């Protein structure tokens, strides 16, 4: 029981959509241990964000201050084939989440991607650089940004080359490949900033805990840059695996 005259601190209620994905699972890990946050993680089975009736049913009964959208169709090549599914998850679902956020007067934190750009800059991208996506996936993320930024209480966090504790990311794939073969061939003409999902989670936790109101779009990555080829060589070095890697 709180002592007389001492006001108890009320935790900030946060709903996390896509809690079992690559990003969502590590967001869940970091936000659960944040003493200022009362986290409500939801996966696809618990709330189908592509269906507004399901969103209203499952989120309408909850009180929350922040809604984090970590759900996405992020398979870039497959999006060219499954365009409708990509837009359903990356665009329609975002419309649904904005509707419920407005009803709750909640702040939305939405994740976007470096794929909204064409990759032709020879220097790091700034938040207000011209967006010229070259793919279905990139265009779907651009549209999602436009939807989110139409609502005042928003954060759009653009990131890139995510890797983390969950499987099915570049680090885990290189590790698996290194156990199966003696040589690897990895793309060397794409440059980016590999970004650890745990670090993203810590950053998001700070935004929420400090109750920052500087809404807008932010480009968020770890420091440095390299090619996929260089990243693969670094992973193998850290794993102490002596494999030939061809660019």
Q: Which of 66, 87, 137, 155 is catalytic?
A: 137
Specify whether the backbone of 21 is left (phi greater than 0), alpha (psi in -120 to 50) or beta. beta
**Both tokens assigned to 34:** 């944040």
Q: Which helix (H) or strand (E) holds 239?
A: helix 228-239
Q: How far, CA to CA in Å, does 199 sit from each of 23, 91, 105, 212, 226? A: 10, 26, 27, 18, 18
- The alpha-carbon radius of gyration of the chain (Å, integer) is 19
Nearest residue to 71 (alpha-carbon basis) of 57, 51, 103? 51
Q: Are 63 and 101 a contacting pair, CB within 8 Å?
A: no
* Residue 214, C-beta contacts closer than 8 angstroms, at least 6 positions apart: none
Specify whether the backbone of 226 is left (phi greater than 0), alpha (psi in -120 to 50) or beta. beta
229 is catalytic: no
Q: Are 190 and 198 a contacting pair, CB within 8 Å?
A: no
**Residue 96: Cβ within 10 Å count:** 21
Annotated active-site positions, please? 137
């Amino acid at each position: 029981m709180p002592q007389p005259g001492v006001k108890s601190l009320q935790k900030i209620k946060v709903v996390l959509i896509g809690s079992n994905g690559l990003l969502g699972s590590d967001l869940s890990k970091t936000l659960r241990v944040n003493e200022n946050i009362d986290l409500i993680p939801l996966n696809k089975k618990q709330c189908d964000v592509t269906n507004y009736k399901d969103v209203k049913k499952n989120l309408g009964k909850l009180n929350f201050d922040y809604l984090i959208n970590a759900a996405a169709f992020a398979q870039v090549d497959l999006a060219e084939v499954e365009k409708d599914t990509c837009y359903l998850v990356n665009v329609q679902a975002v419309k649904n989440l904005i509707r419920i956020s407005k009803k709750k007067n909640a702040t939305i934190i939405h994740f976007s991607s470096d794929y909204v750009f064409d990759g032709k800059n020879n220097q790091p991208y700034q938040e207000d650089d011209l967006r010229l996506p070259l793919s279905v996936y990139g265009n779907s993320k651009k549209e999602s940004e436009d939807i989110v930024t139409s609502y005042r209480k928003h954060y759009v966090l653009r990131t890139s080359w995510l890797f983390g504790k969950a499987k099915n990311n570049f680090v885990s794939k290189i590790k698996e490949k290194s156990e199966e073969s003696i040589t690897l061939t990895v793309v060397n003409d794409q440059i980016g900033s590999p970004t650890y999902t745990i670090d993203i989670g810590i950053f998001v936790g700070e935004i929420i805990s400090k109750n920052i109101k500087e809404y807008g779009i932010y480009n968020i990555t770890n420091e440095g840059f390299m090619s996929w080829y260089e990243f693969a060589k670094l992973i193998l070095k850290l794993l102490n695996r002596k494999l030939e890697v061809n660019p």
